[in-house]
Structure 1
């Protein structure tokens, strides 16, 4: 395999890997469970002596 062929294969692999990483990052960043914070009311229970 020539050096040019090796560099071309490596460049193609790098583009594919970067695309997959970008797609995964974007998918995880916009995933619902990342933004699903509990926004409910806080209920305090008084456990002190009466």
Structure 2
């Protein structure tokens, strides 16, 4: 598949960031053609309630 315009392909990602008190979960969605971060959220747990925008 060729990506020929913006807002065509999105990539979600989740990463754990180590801190002094444990870990923080960082979730983000990236638009691949423009390489822009569209949404990002940080949470101390992987509960969907913490990560999904309300």
Larger Rg: 1
Q: TM-score, normalised by structure 1?
A: 0.19
